[in-house]
Amino acid sequence: MLNQKHTLFVCTTCGGKWEDGKRVGESSGEKLLLQLQELAQDSELHNKFCIQGVECMSACSHSCVIALTGEGKSTYLFGDLPVDGSTSAILECATKYYAKTDGSLPWSERPEPLKKGILAKIPALNKWAQLTITCS
């Protein structure tokens, strides 16, 4: 499982300015995405993670928002991340996530900005399938 690509989603709508129902200028999420992509190019994550922008992650009151996901692993959703100063912590957390076969990220192992910013931990899909079989 560790040779598979993982995905770091970054909400590009987060922290945007809106006028007449249209986004104006670059959002904080877009800035965070660019910073993460640039920093990751020279890191060990370059060939392990796809860093991908998504239009909205429906956590608007917790801007900026990211998610870590990988096949067979729990998905983590983090919010309230500052654009400046959190990119290294996000990539450090992604490295730890990648190294765990189940994607487990205990609070004590997360970098500081990601300790307070947890919004959700979603069980791996294959674990849900096992629960359905067990509960039937």
pLDDT tens readout for residues 59-84: 888 889 999 999 889 999 999 999 88
Q: First CA to last CA across the chain, in angstroms?
A: 28
| Token output for 120 | 């959700």
The number of distinct structural domains making up the chain is 1
For the segment 13-63, what is each residue's pLDDT rounded down to a tens digit?
888 777 787 777 788 999 999 999 998 887 777 778 889 999 988 888 888
Q: Is 15 within a domain?
A: yes
- Does the residue 57 lie in any domain? yes
Q: Any idea what the Cα angle at residue 46 is, between residues 86 and 95, rounded to 5°? A: 55
Q: Tell me, what's the pLDDT at 1?
A: 43
Q: For the domain that residue 19 is a member of, what is the CATH number? A: 3.40.30.10
Q: Is residue 122 part of a domain?
A: yes
For the stretch 78-123, pLDDT in tens is: 999 998 889 999 999 999 999 998 889 999 999 988 988 899 999 8
Q: Cα separation of 58 and 11, whole Å?
A: 9
Decide if 105 is inside a domain.
Answer: yes
113 inside domain = yes
